[in-house]
């Protein structure tokens, strides 16, 4: 077992893990996009187009993080007893990219909530309309028949 301070091995293992996650998310996005219906409303098309951009951008950012990890695994963290500025700068960039990934995830989560709320409202609206329609039909069927036929209740 390598020592716990073996930075190159730890960086390579982290890079491998992140690249597997990025590959999984990219593949999942590809399958999801292929399975998507074609006759979507304009609002749904906009939602999914933006979602695709956010999620692909997330995968790209993860791959950039992997590249930085691979480069930084070759660098010494200290040179002549002092901090290696290139090494430190690369890790600051990694931390900034992680913050960007978190922001993308938050934006995606909020957009998915708005999408679900919009569809939930539409389903409730359709259910209410169906109940009203059934109630009008039931009332018309119970109404006394005159020579002119059943009367429709007012809307």
DSSP codes of every residue in 5-68:
T-HHHHHHHHHHHHHHHHHHHHHHHHHHHHHS-SS--HHHHHHHHHHHHHHHHHHHHHHHHHHH
DSSP 147: T
Q: How far apart are CA 67 and CA 117, in angstroms?
A: 38
Residue pair 96/61 in contact by the 8 Å Cβ criterion = no
Closest CA to 90 of 36, 145, 146, 11: 11
Q: Mean per-residue pLDDT for 71-81? A: 81
Q: What is the pLDDT of residues 8-41, one digit of tens each?
A: 788 889 999 999 999 999 999 999 988 888 888 8
Predicted TM-score (pTM) of the model is 0.74
Reply yes or no on whether the pLDDT at 120 is more than 80: yes
Residue pair 101/63 in contact by the 8 Å Cβ criterion = no
Query: Taking the domains of the chain in order of start, what are their residue ranges?
Result: 7-115
Q: Mean per-residue pLDDT for 62-86? A: 87
* Percent with pLDDT over 70 in the chain: 90
Higher-pLDDT residue of 80, 120: 120
Q: How far apart are CA 127 and CA 108, in angstroms?
A: 28
Q: Label residue 150 by pLDDT band (50, 70, 90).
A: low
């Amino acid at each position: 077992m390598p020592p716990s301070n073996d930075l190159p091995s730890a960086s390579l293992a982290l890079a491998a893990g992140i690249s597997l996650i990025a590959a999984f998310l990219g593949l999942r996005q590809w399958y999801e996009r292929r399975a998507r219906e074609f006759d979507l409303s304009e609002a749904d098309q906009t939602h999914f187009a933006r979602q695709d951009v956010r999620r692909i951008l997330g995968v790209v950012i993860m791959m950039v993080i992997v590249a930085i990890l691979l480069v930084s695994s070759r660098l010494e963290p200290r040179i002549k007893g002092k901090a290696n500025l290139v090494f430190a700068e690369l890790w600051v960039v990694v931390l900034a990219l992680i913050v960007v990934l978190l922001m993308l995830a938050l934006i995606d989560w909020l957009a998915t909530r708005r999408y679900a709320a919009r569809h939930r409202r539409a389903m409730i609206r359709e259910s209410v309309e169906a109940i009203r329609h059934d109630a009008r039909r039931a009332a018309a069927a119970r109404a006394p028949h005159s020579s002119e036929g059943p009367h429709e209740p007012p809307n």
